[in-house]
Structure 1
Amino acid sequence: MSTAPNAQLTDLKSDYIRRGWFKFPSRFTGQAIELLRERVQAISQESRPEVVLEKDGGRVRAIHGCHAFDEACQALVRLPCLVEMAEKLIGGPVYLYQFKVNIKQAYEGDAWPWHQDFSFWSEEDGMPRPDAVNFAISLDDVHTGNGPLTVIPGSHRLGLLDLPEKEADGMVSDWRQHVSADLAYTVTPERVEELAGENGKELILGRAGSIHAFHPSIVHSSSNNLSADRRALLLLTYNAVDNAPASPTRPVFLVDRNTDPIVPREDGRFAFEADD
């Protein structure tokens, strides 16, 4: 990807601007994904605040901020192909705003309601503009039955939708509502029906190793995992250096305070192959 022709990069950015998402032309190899799976499995077994459980307190739902304490995850963040793509989409130097892994366990993974990521970053953290990008890396094969992301193309151009009123302290919710199935910021079913009627819905599917980019303001959700197959999705959010929140209050594992531009670095453990 780092050597993709300029014409291809232009097409991808055009897709991103128009539809709010696109699929990378390459995916991580099986060896690279196996390394990430091993690290996610090990971290999931640790008792630490970055590890979030499902509402019933059973299986792991998500882990956050792994790049701050895991060497392999930090190496992933610095890969030139990812950093350079983020810089091209955003238009300048970037830093890592957020690292997380959303895990839908077989038959037990709970849904994520319809929402926009930028609602949280704007209203809770004070991010000035949606000059950021999410890269979603599939750690498992993603199919229609194990809770794939569903997006409404073009919805990122509409701004923030259905925001609740803020409390007197300027905050809407406890940060735990930002990592659970009961999200503090959601898009109403009526709005989703209207938008989907105009623009349709698209499923983000693919083999393990696939990479998708999507805009912070795109309306998206994911259903329950109804299958025997786990669905783990690793998400890297790169933010423009000049778009960093001035004084975020949420935990550092949700909002990284290090806003220095990322210095790209190759790592032989993370190789790519053409995605068919």
Structure 2
Amino acid sequence: MKSSKAAEDPSTRRTYQEEGWFKFSPILDQRIISYVCSSIQGWTSKPPLGAAFEADGAALRAVHGCHLYDDTYERLTRLPMLLDTAREILEDDVYVYQFKINIKQALEGREWPWHTDFSFWSNEDGMPSPRAVNIAVNVDDVREENGPILLLPGSHRADSIPQIVTPPSSSGSDWQANVSAELPYTVEESMVQKLLIHHPQTPLLGPAGSVFAFHPKIIHSSSRNRSRQRRSILIITYNAVSNVPKSVTRPEFLVGWDPTPLQPLDGTVL
């Protein structure tokens, strides 16, 4: 199996194990970025299944599962640069557990509170262990002022992370509560402040096409978009085929139901 340049670098794997994240050396082909931007423009006027909105019900916040009906996105999940890295990190074959594009509209995109992804996957879906990895692609230029993902490096190794569990509001569907600005599983502020002393927050900044990998147990958040520039990030979550949840009931566009191992594309053309 041919691995990506990021996966082949021992220092990269070590950084992921110790810090819980790393940045890829190459950036994604700008033709792919242009395709995603075009999709977002179309979704603004005609939201697809799996779309989530800000509290005002108008501003698009995220789109989930578009790889299920769009061949380009399906092929993107099998791009060797991304897929081989996930397989190397997890030391297993993988499948797409979640595919989403998080969108913060200019001046409207709200924050994501401090949380860990594994809290949702474990509590909502019964994922056995955090043997999954998030691959994030900046679709727009991501700067300090437009709401970058903020990580606490090394926090994925914390033995226990105190959580605040907030039952979802009676309004809206259950899955929408898991992608709103008022998340049902958040990390206690005291825990965040304690970790910040030795683990200063790190923003995932970079031009469109920048690619990052981060651990499902790393504590992260993002601030409100205070700029006049949209901030969009595409995130593919790969899960090890030996780590399939046993009780998935959430919609397929939100959580992958098919654990068939992915096979990499022959080449890089989508």
- After superposition, the Cα gap between the structure-2 partners of 1:126 and 1:86, relative to the gap in structure 1 and judged at 3 Å, is same
Aligned to 2:150: 150
Q: So what's the TM-score if we normalise by structure 2?
A: 0.92
Aligned to 1:235: 235
- After superposition, the Cα gap between the structure-2 partners of 1:162 and 1:77, relative to the gap in structure 1 and judged at 3 Å, is same
For residues 104-161 of structure 1, the C-alpha deviation after alignment (integer angstroms, 9 at most, x for no partner) is 0001100000000000000110000000000010000000000001100000011552
Distance 1:163 1:26 in 2: 36
- After superposition, the Cα gap between the structure-2 partners of 1:124 and 1:166, relative to the gap in structure 1 and judged at 3 Å, is farther
TM-aligned CA deviation for residue 268 of structure 1: 4.6
- After superposition, the Cα gap between the structure-2 partners of 1:54 and 1:2, relative to the gap in structure 1 and judged at 3 Å, is same
TM-aligned CA deviation for residue 80 of structure 1: 1.5
Q: How many residues align?
A: 264
SS in 2 for 1:186: strand
Distance 2:179 2:166 in 1: 19
Distance 2:211 2:177 in 1: 27
- After superposition, the Cα gap between the structure-2 partners of 1:60 and 1:165, relative to the gap in structure 1 and judged at 3 Å, is closer
For residues 61-97 of structure 1, the C-alpha deviation after alignment (integer angstroms, 9 at most, x for no partner) is 0000010011111110011121110000011100000
Give the ranges of 4+ consecutive aligned residues of structure 1 lying more than 3 Å apart after TM superposition: 163-167, 266-270
What is the one-letter code of the residue matched to 2:133? V
Question: Aligned pair 1:135/2:130, yes or no?
Answer: no
Q: 177-186 or 49-58: which moved more?
A: 49-58
Aligned to 1:188: 188
SS in 1 for 2:181: coil
SS in 1 for 2:99: strand
Aligned to 1:4: 5
Distance 1:165 1:115 in 2: 11
SS in 2 for 1:25: coil
What is the one-letter code of the residue matched to 2:65? G
Distance 1:160 1:181 in 2: 24
Question: Aligned pair 1:259/2:259, yes or no?
Answer: yes
Two-structure CA RMSD over aligned residues (Å): 2.0
TM-aligned CA deviation for residue 30 of structure 1: 2.1
Aligned to 1:118: 118
- After superposition, the Cα gap between the structure-2 partners of 1:3 and 1:216, relative to the gap in structure 1 and judged at 3 Å, is closer
Over the matched positions of the two proteins, sequence identity in percent amounts to 44
Q: So what's the TM-score if we normalise by structure 1?
A: 0.90
TM-aligned CA deviation for residue 49 of structure 1: 3.6
